Amino acid sequence: MKKLSLINFILLVCILFYLIYNQTKKQATHFKKLTAERIDVVGENGNKFIVLSNPKNQALATTNGKLTNPESTERNTPGLIFFNSEGDEVGGLVFDKDEEGTYQMLTFDQNKNDQIMVLRKDEYEENGQWFRQYGLEISERSEKPYIEIIKEYNFINKLEDSVKRAHEFNKFWSNPEHLAPKRLFLGRLENLNTGLFLLDKENNIKLSIYVDSDGKPVLQYVDSLGNNKNLLK
């Protein structure tokens, strides 16, 4: 009986050591420094939720888990891209510089569509002078899924007849469903005017409340005839 109890005790100790060891293996590994070209945060089914990548390896936009634009094979945009549980890209955080200037932005996408709210900053140099615009932009899009808009665009772009292609593109860009007019900008313009600017569906500023570069307050609207009216004279 004593031998049997000793054996049971040894087995119990072995089981405890195994459980402790197995649990230790399951614990997250701690890294002081991690160097990578791309990091994907995925669900149990492999669905991407967050992708942090350099330009060369950046994830492409998807809708319902499929490429939004199958014709595109690269993005060349470093940053953090977010996806939802349906496999749709829903926004991102991008910081970079190109031949035209520097830009940083945080984007929010409409459901099954492209961005409708953006916090962004743009800078570019012209004739030795730097121009800057930064603030919050709000746009408006149709309910037409972006993947369908891209499909139509790619079809027209492949037309061999240049005259027909130009005609079809003219129709394409005349369709309000394919446009994303900016409706609001809150921030600082290139001309140093800083304030709130409201626009119509044709991207025309209709109401402006701002302080100009000289510190003068301006409250301006556009009447039905297209004339600018300043209410603070």
Q: Which H helix or E strand runs over 194?
A: strand 194-199
Quote the pTM value.
0.82
Tokens 């603070």 label which residue?
A: 232
Q: pLDDT at position 98, please?
A: 82
Q: Are residues 142 and 114 in contact, defined by beta-carbon separation less than 8 angstroms?
A: no
Residues of the chain under the 50 pLDDT cut: 1
Q: pLDDT at position 114, please?
A: 96
Q: pLDDT at position 32, please?
A: 86
Q: pLDDT at position 34, please?
A: 87
Q: Which H helix or E strand runs over 137?
A: strand 129-139
- Closest to 141 in 3D by CA, of 107, 104, 183: 183
How distant, in Å, are the alpha carbons of 122, 150, 159, 166, 169 from that of 163? Answer: 36, 21, 9, 5, 10
For 40, residues 6+ apart whose C-beta sits below 8 A from its C-beta are 48, 50, 51, 59
Q: Which amino acid is at 145?
A: P
* Alpha carbons 172 and 152: distance in angstroms, whole number: 8
Q: pLDDT at position 208, please?
A: 96
